[in-house]
Amino acid sequence: MFYDRTIRLADTDAAGVIYFASLLSICHEAYEACLEKTGISLQPFLKDASCAIPIVHAEIDFQRPIYYGDQIRITVTPQFLSETEFESEYLITKISEPETFALAKTRHVCIDPQKRRRMPLPTSIMAWLDTKN
């Protein structure tokens, strides 16, 4: 699954490149867009839900600079880790170039938001994790 995105002015900073945290934000956009393509919305997992899926870890490695107007492609690869946890990997290239520009990862756990205790991932997310492309 991939998500194409043009770098907008709001994504950049005065160093003339993408602001580092904005690329993680765009990776999350890609994650949301990929869930949507398989019919899953995060809406039921937001505030006051019986089940939330917060991020417990995120990381990103930058290999080449990304500038205003660049058309990037984010390839999203979700991975099952355990009954309560999964990871999503993000390969950032340009649409027109095969080189890796950045690599990112987010790890998500399923919790009961009232008790702040882990619980099994919802079946919709489990089905998405089984999708292999």
Strands (DSSP E) along the chain, which ranges? 2-6, 55-62, 71-82, 85-94, 97-109, 111-112, 117-118
In this complex, which beta carbon is closest to a second copy, that of residue 13 or of residue 83? Answer: 13
Judge whether 112 counts as a catalytic residue: no
Return the structure tokens found at 40. Answer: 């899953």
Strands (DSSP E) along 7-84, which ranges? 55-62, 71-82
Distance CA 24, CA 103 (A): 10
User: Given 3-state DSSP classes, what are the helix, strand and coil percentages for the chain, each rounded to the nearest 5?
Assistant: 25, 45, 35
Distance CA 107, CA 105 (A): 7
Q: Which residue among 21, 81, 95, 127 contacts a second copy (CB under 8 A)?
A: 21
Interface of this chain with a second copy, residues 75 to 114, rule: CB under 8 A: 106
Interface of this chain with a second copy, residues 36 to 65, rule: CB under 8 A: 36, 41-43, 45-48, 52, 54-63, 65
Q: Is 126 near a second copy (CB under 8 A)?
A: no
Shortest CB 59 distance to a second copy, Å: 4
Q: Residues 13, 48, 70, 130: which is the catalytic one?
A: 13
Q: Is 69 near a second copy (CB under 8 A)?
A: yes
- Binding residues (CB under 8 A) for a second copy: these are 6, 8-10, 12-17, 19-22, 24-25, 28-29, 32-33, 36, 41-43, 45-48, 52, 54-63, 65, 67-69, 106, 116
